[in-house]
Amino acid sequence: MTDNYISSPHNPKIKHLLQLQQKSSLRRSEGLFVVEGRREISRLISSGFEIDSLFYCPSILGAGQGAEIALSFPPRSRCFELSPEVYNKVAYREGTEGVIAEVKTRNLTLEDLPAKEDALYVVLESVEKPGNLGAVLRSADASGADAVIVCDPLTDIWNPNLIRNSTGAIFSVPCVACSSQECIDFLKARGVRILTAQLQDSELYYDTDMRPATAIVMGTEATGLTEIWRKAADAHIRIPMLGLLDSLNVSVSAAILLYEAVRQRNG
C-alpha cells in the first residue's frame, strides 16, 4: 500500500475525477480530461500528451503491475492507489483495466495543422454523438487522414465516450473544433478541395477525384449539411443507397469515403 492510498469514495480527488468525467464545463475550465485503460494511456503518452494524475488498482491490474506503474510515473506525488471498491466507482466502462488518468488537454487550432499538397481532412458539421465522432477518428487514423475538423460542435471532443470509441485515435489524429465559416476560409486559403456528402445534386463518390488536397465534409444523419457548406463545395458526392434507407451512419460513411481516397492515391 502506498502513501497515496485512497479507500474512500468520498475523497476529494475521487469526487473531482467523477466530475471531470461528467461535466464538459469542468473539463474546459480546468483543461483536463479523463482516460481509462492501459492501451489508451500508452497511446496518449506516445503522442506527447501529459498526465496530470494517475489512479490505479493493483488487484485489477494484476500482481506487480501497480507498483510498476507507480514507479514509472514521474510525479510520484500525483500517483494514487485505489481500493477495488473506489476504483469500481470511478471506472466508466466494462472490462476495466485497473488504471485511469486525468490528462491535460491539447486544444489545437486550424493553423496548427501542417500544410500538405495532398492533405486529407474529415470535416463534421454539428456532430452530436461522441461515439460517432470517436468512430470517425478511428477510421481517420486507419486511413492516414491528416486531421478531423469538427465544425460548430455539439459534443465535447474530450468526452470519455468519444475517447473510448476512438480507441485512442483522438491522441494520434489532430482534432480541431471551429466554426463552419472558419473552416471554409481555412480550406479555401490552402487550396483544399471541398467535397460535401449529400444526396441532392451529387455524383457518385468513386467518380470524384480525391488525389489532390481534399476535405470530405459530412453533416448529421437527421438534417445533413447546412447551406453554407453546399455553397462552398467544389463537388457534391454521394454513396449509392440500394435499399429502402437513404443514409448511413456518419462513421460508416466516413470510412467508405476515406478509403476511396486511399484507393485513388495508392492505386
From first to last of its 267 residues, what are the pLDDT tens digits of the chain?
557 899 999 999 999 999 999 999 999 999 999 999 888 988 998 999 999 999 989 888 865 565 566 556 656 668 899 999 999 999 987 666 889 999 999 999 999 998 899 999 999 999 888 999 999 999 999 999 999 999 988 888 999 999 999 999 999 999 999 999 999 999 999 999 999 998 888 899 999 999 999 999 999 876 779 999 999 999 999 999 899 887 789 999 999 999 999 999 997
Grid coordinates given for 228: 453554407
65 and 157: one domain? no
Euclidean distance between CA atoms 136 and 151, whole angstroms:
14
Task: Answer with the one of 63, 82, 104 that is the final residue of a domain.
Answer: 104
126 and 222: one domain? yes
Q: Which DSSP symbol is given to 256?
A: H
150 and 255: one domain? yes
Q: Which DSSP symbol is given to 207?
A: G
Q: Which is it for strands 99-104 and 51-56: parallel, antiparallel or unpaired? A: antiparallel
In 3D space, the residue among 166, 254, 185 whose CA is nearest the CA of residue 217 turns out to be 254
Q: Which domain holds residue 34?
A: 5-104
Please state the domain count of the chain: 2
166 and 116: one domain? yes
Instruction: Kindly report the backbone phi and psi dihedral angles of residue 71, in degrees, each rounded to the nearest multiple of 5, phi listed first.
Output: -75, -30
Grid coordinates given for 133: 465522432
262 and 187: one domain? yes
CATH number at residue 128: 3.40.1280.10
Instruction: Kindly report the backbone phi and psi dihedral angles of residue 127, in degrees, each rounded to the nearest multiple of 5, phi listed first.
Output: -65, 135
73 and 144: one domain? no
76 and 145: one domain? no
pTM of the model: 0.90
Instruction: Kindly report the backbone phi and psi dihedral angles of residue 55, in degrees, each rounded to the nearest multiple of 5, phi listed first.
Output: -125, 135
Euclidean distance between CA atoms 213 and 190, whole angstroms:
9
242 and 136: one domain? yes
